[in-house]
C-alpha cells in the first residue's frame, strides 16, 4: 500500500508506478508528465486507487490503468489526453470529485458511476469504447466539447439522473441503451446521436433531451420511449433514419418535424404531445421557391402511427404527412393550423376511432382508405369537404358512426358500411355505397348520380328525399328499404329483389285531436289532429290493414313494438304505445324506428297472432302525437297498395313491404 501526501511534483514520466497489483490512497498532490498514477498489470480486485487530493498529468492520464483496477475519486484528477484511463475496471467519481482532461474519462471495457464533475475539455466527457455501463447520479455533471457521453464500438449503457452536456449530448456507435432521468443537452448538434447499431432510449417523466439540431437522431434503427421532453431546436424532435419505434406519452417538439421516420418504415404510438413549431413554410433558393417541411409527424417511406386517446400531434403547417404506404390510427387530436391535418400522399389507411379530432383538411392520395372504427358511438363531420380524396371509406363491423353536416361521396369513391351508419345531413352520392351487411339511416336528402347497394341482411332507412338520379340495387332478396317519413322518393331506379317497408299505428292507439285523445280506428278523413307545431290539421286519408301473423313468412317484420308508459321520458308515452317495427318516433330532432329502441325491458316486440294497423296521411308530412309521443304521419312513397282500402291491387305479404323486381340494364 502506498499512502501519498505529496509525490513527484515535477516528475517527467510517472508519479506512482504499479507494475502489478497495488493500493494507492492519495490525499496530497501527485503530479507527473506521463501519468500521475500508472498501473501496468493490475487486476480488478487487487488494484485500487483512492484519491481525495490532487492528481495531475500534463500529457497522458492523471490515473492510467492499462490492465484493470478500481478508482474512487473525491478529489481532483487532471489529465492531458484523459483525466482517467481504465482498460477494464470500475470508476467512481464522488460528490466532491472532479475529473478533467481532453477526454474527461476514457474507458475501454469498464463501469463508471459519477456523482461529481467530469469535464472533457477537448473531446468527450466520458468515452466508453467497449462494453460497460455509465451511471450519472442526480448530482453528477458530465461535460464534453464533442460528446457529453460517447458510447463506442460495443453495446453499452448509460443511466443518467444528472446533467450531460456536449456539442452532442450522447453518442452511440454500436447500439446500447440510454435511460434518462435528468438532462441531456446537445449544445450545437443533437441531444442523442446514433451512428450504428440499434439503440434503446428511455426518457423518463420530468427528464429532458434537447438538441440544437435534432433532439434525437438515429441513423440506424432504434427504439425510443419518451415520458418527458425531447426537443430539437433547429430541426426534428426525433429523427429515425433507419426505422425503429417511438412510444411517446410526454412531449416531442421540433421545428420542422416533431417526429420524422425518414428512410425505413417505423412505428409511432403517441398519447402525449408531438409538435412542430416552425414558422417558415417556404424558402427561396437560386430564385426558386420551395415548400419547407413543417410537419408534426413526417413518414417518408411508410410506417405506422397510432395517435391514441389523449394524444396531440400539432403543426403550424401539416399535422401528419406521409409519402410512403402508411397506416395512421387516430383517437386523439391532429392539428394542421395552416394546411392539412393529415396528408397521405403515399397512400395507405387512416383509421379514425371515436373521440378523434382533426383541425385542418384530411387528404388521401386517391388510393388511401378512410376507416371508421371503434365500438362506441362516434361522429364525423365534413365527408367530402374536410375528408377528401380517399379511394374508399369503410365503416367497421360493430361500429356506430354518424355523419354530421353535409356529406359528399365523389365519383369513383366507395363507401363500405359493415356496421351502423347514420347520415344526418344532406348526402350527395356520386359514387357507390355498399351496405354489406349493415344498417344505414339517411335522415336528410340523398342526391347525386351514384348507387346504393343493399346486400343480404342489410337495412337502409330513408327519412329524407331520394333523388330520381340515384340507383338502389338489391344484391339479395333479404335486403330491406324502410321508407320513414319524410322519405320522399322521386322515382329512383330500383334494381333487384328486396323488401320496402312502411310504418303504421296498431289498433287502439290514441291520437291527439282538438277534442282530446281519440282511438285511431275511430278517426275519419276530414277529422282534425294536432301537430307538433301546435296546428290543427285535417286528415287526408287513413290506411288500414289487418294481418294474420301466424301465416306471415317473416312475422318479426310486422309484429308490433310495445313502448311501455314512461319509457321515453316522464309520462311519454302516457300509456303503452304499439307501433309497427319501422314506424318512426321523433326524438331529439331525429326520426328513430320503433324497432331500434327495443331493449327487452321497457321496449319489446310482441308475439301477437293478429294485428290491425292504421296510418294517417295529412296534406303535408308532419309530426303528430300518439299516446302523448311525437310520431310521424304517412307520406306517399308508392306503397299505398300495402293497405286494404287503397283501391289498388293489395300487396301479398302483410309486413307492409313490397317486393320489387326489375331487370338489370344490359
In order, the DSSP letters of 52-118 are SSEEEESSSEEEEEEEEEEEEESSEEE-SSEEEEEEEEEEEE-TT-EEEESEEEEEEEEEEEESSEE
Give the per-residue pLDDT at 655. Answer: 46
Give the per-residue pLDDT at 503. Answer: 62
List, for residues 542-585, the tens digit of each pLDDT value: 988 777 777 776 788 888 899 999 999 999 999 999 998 888 89
At which residue does the C-alpha cell 490532487 appear? 54
Give the per-residue pLDDT at 199. Answer: 86
Does the residue 520 lie in any domain? yes
Domain end, chosen from 349, 367, 385, is at 367
Does the residue 330 lie in any domain? yes
Contact 441, 461 (CB under 8 A): yes
Give the per-residue pLDDT at 660. Answer: 33
Can you tell me the distance from the alpha carbon of 421 to that of 121, in angstroms, rounded to the nearest whole number? 66
Can you tell me the distance from the alpha carbon of 398 to that of 599, in angstroms, rounded to the nearest whole number? 18
pLDDT class of 608 with cuts at 50, 70, 90: confident
Instruction: List the grid coordinates of 448.
Output: 347525386
Give the per-residue pLDDT at 635. Answer: 64
Does the residue 186 lie in any domain? no
Burial bucket for residue 10 (CB in 10 Å: 0-12, 13-18, 19+): exposed
pLDDT class of 277 with cuts at 50, 70, 90: very high
What Rg value do the Cα atoms of the chain yield, rounded? 38
Q: Could you tell me which residues come within 8 angstroms of residue 606 by beta carbon, excluding any fewer than 6 positions away?
A: 559, 560, 561, 562, 578
Give the CATH number for residue 516.
Answer: 2.170.16.10
What's the number of domains the chain is made of? 2
Which residue, 398, 436, 405, is CA-closest to 420?
Answer: 398
Does the residue 428 lie in any domain? no
Q: What is the chain's mean pLDDT, rounded?
A: 89
| Bond preceding residue 248 cis, omega within 30 of 0 | no
Give the per-residue pLDDT at 489. Answer: 57
- Please tell me which residue, 221 or 369, carries the higher pLDDT value: 369
Distances in whole angstroms, Cα of residue 271 to Cα of each of 137, 245, 274 = 29, 14, 9
Provide the 3-class DSSP secondary structure of residue 595.
helix
Domain end, chosen from 367, 400, 429, is at 367
Examine the pLDDT at 283 and tell me if it is beyond 70.
no
Does the residue 400 lie in any domain? no
Does the residue 606 lie in any domain? yes
Does the residue 588 lie in any domain? yes
Does the residue 217 lie in any domain? no
Q: Where in the sequence is the domain holding 332, given as residue range(s)?
A: 268-367
pLDDT class of 191 with cuts at 50, 70, 90: very high
Question: How many residues are given for the chain?
Answer: 666
Distances in whole angstroms, Cα of residue 82 to Cα of each of 186, 412, 420, 423, 525 = 21, 69, 70, 72, 106
Calculate mean pLDDT across residues 59-76: 97
Distances in whole angstroms, Cα of residue 498 to Cα of each of 125, 566, 657 = 79, 36, 9
Domain end, chosen from 367, 385, 410, is at 367
| Across 9-18, 355-364, 385-394, least confident range | 9-18
Calculate mean pLDDT across residues 59-84: 97
Can you tell me the distance from the alpha carbon of 17 to that of 40, in angstroms, rounded to the nearest whole number? 8
List, for residues 150-187, the tens digit of each pLDDT value: 998 888 999 999 999 999 999 988 888 999 999 999 99
Amino acid at each position: 500500500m502506498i499512502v501519498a501526501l505529496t509525490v513527484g511534483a515535477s516528475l517527467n514520466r510517472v508519479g506512482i508506478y504499479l507494475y502489478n497489483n497495488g493500493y494507492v490512497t492519495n490525499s496530497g498532490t501527485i503530479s507527473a508528465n506521463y501519468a500521475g498514477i500508472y498501473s501496468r498489470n493490475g487486476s480488478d480486485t487487487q488494484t485500487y486507487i483512492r484519491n481525495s487530493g490532487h492528481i495531475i498529468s500534463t500529457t497522458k492520464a492523471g490515473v492510467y490503468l492499462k490492465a484493470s483496477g478500481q478508482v474512487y475519486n473525491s478529489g481532483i484528477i487532471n489529465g492531458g489526453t484523459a483525466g482517467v484511463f481504465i482498460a477494464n475496471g470500475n470508476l467512481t467519481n464522488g460528490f466532491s470529485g472532479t475529473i478533467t482532461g481532453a477526454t474527461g474519462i476514457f474507458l475501454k471495457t469498464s463501469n463508471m458511476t459519477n456523482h461529481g464533475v467530469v469535464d472533457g475539455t477537448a473531446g468527450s466527457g466520458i468515452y466508453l469504447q467497449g462494453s460497460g455501463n455509465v451511471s450519472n447520479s442526480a448530482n453528477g455533471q458530465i461535460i464534453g466539447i464533442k460528446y457529453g457521453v460517447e458510447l463506442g464500438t460495443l453495446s453499452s449503457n448509460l443511466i443518467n439522473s444528472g446533467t450531460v452536456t456536449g456539442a452532442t449530448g450522447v453518442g452511440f456507435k454500436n447500439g446500447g441503451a440510454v435511460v434518462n432521468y435528468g438532462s441531456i443537452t446537445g449544445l450545437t448538434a443533437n441531444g442523442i446521436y446514433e451512428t450504428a447499431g440499434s439503440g434503446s432510449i428511455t426518457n423518463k417523466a420530468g427528464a429532458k433531451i434537447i438538441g440544437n439540431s435534432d433532439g434525437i437522431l438515429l441513423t440506424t434503427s432504434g427504439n425510443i420511449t419518451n415520458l418527458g421532453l425531447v426537443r430539437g431546436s433547429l430541426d426534428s424532435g426525433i429523427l429515425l433514419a433507419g426505422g425503429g419505434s417511438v412510444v411517446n406519452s410526454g412531449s416531442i417538439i421540433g421545428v420542422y418535424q416533431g417526429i420524422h421516420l425518414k428512410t425505413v418504415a417505423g412505428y409511432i404510438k403517441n398519447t402525449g404531445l408531438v409538435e412542430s413549431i416552425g414558422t417558415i413554410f417556404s424558402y427561396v433558393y437560386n430564385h426558386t421557391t420551395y415548400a419547407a417541411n413543417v410537419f408534426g409527424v413526417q413518414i417518408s417511406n411508410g410506417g405506422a402511427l397510432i395517435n391514441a386517446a389523449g394524444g396531440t400531434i400539432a403543426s403550424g403547417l401539416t399535422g401528419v404527412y406521409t409519402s410512403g404506404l402508411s397506416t395512421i390510427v387516430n383517437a386523439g387530436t391532429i392539428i394542421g393550423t395552416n394546411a392539412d391535418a393529415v396528408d397521405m400522399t403515399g397512400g395507405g389507411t387512416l383509421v379514425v376511432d371515436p373521440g378523434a379530432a382533426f383541425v385542418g383538411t384530411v387528404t388521401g392520395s386517391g388510393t388511401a382508405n378512410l376507416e371508421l372504427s371503434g365500438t362506441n358511438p362516434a361522429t364525423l363531420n365534413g365527408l367530402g369537404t374536410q375528408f377528401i380524396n380517399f379511394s374508399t371509406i369503410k365503416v367497421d363491423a360493430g361500429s356506430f358512426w354518424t355523419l354530421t353536416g353535409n356529406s359528399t361521396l365523389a365519383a369513383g369513391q366507395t363507401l363500405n358500411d359493415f356496421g351502423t351508419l347514420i347520415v344526418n345531413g344532406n348526402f350527395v352520392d356520386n359514387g357507390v355505397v355498399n351496405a354489406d351487411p349493415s344498417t344505414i339511416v339517411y335522415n336528410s336528402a340523398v342526391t347525386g348520380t351514384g348507387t346504393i347497394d343493399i346486400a343480404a341482411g342489410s337495412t337502409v332507412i330513408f327519412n329524407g328525399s331520394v333523388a330520381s338520379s340515384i340507383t338502389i340495387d338489391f344484391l339479395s332478396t333479404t335486403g330491406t328499404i324502410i321508407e320513414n317519413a319524410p322519405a320522399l322518393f322521386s322515382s329512383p331506379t330500383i334494381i333487384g329483389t328486396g323488401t320496402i317497408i312502411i310504418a303504421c299505428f296498431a289498433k287502439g292507439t290514441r291520437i291527439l285531436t282538438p277534442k282530446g285523445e281519440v282511438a285511431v280506428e275511430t278517426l275519419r278523413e276530414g277529422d282534425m289532429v294536432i301537430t307538433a307545431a301546435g296546428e290543427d290539421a285535417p286528415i287526408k286519408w287513413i290506411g288500414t290493414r289487418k294481418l294474420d301473423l301466424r301465416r306471415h313468412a317473416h312475422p318479426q317484420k310486422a309484429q308490433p313494438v310495445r313502448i311501455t308508459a314512461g319509457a321515453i321520458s316522464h309520462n311519454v308515452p302516457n300509456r303503452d304505445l304499439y307501433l309497427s317495427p319501422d314506424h318512426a318516433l321523433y326524438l331529439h330532432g331525429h326520426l328513430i324506428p320503433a324497432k331500434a329502441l327495443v331493449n327487452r325491458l321497457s321496449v319489446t316486440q310482441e308475439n301477437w297472432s293478429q294485428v290491425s294497423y292504421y296510418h294517417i296521411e295529412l296534406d303535408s308530412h308532419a309530426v303528430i302525437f300518439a299516446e302523448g309521443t311525437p310520431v310521424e304521419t304517412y307520406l306517399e312513397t308508392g306503397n299505398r297498395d300495402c293497405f286494404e282500402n287503397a283501391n289498388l291491387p293489395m300487396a301479398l305479404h302483410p309486413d307492409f313491404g313490397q317486393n320489387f323486381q326489375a331487370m338489370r340494364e344490359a
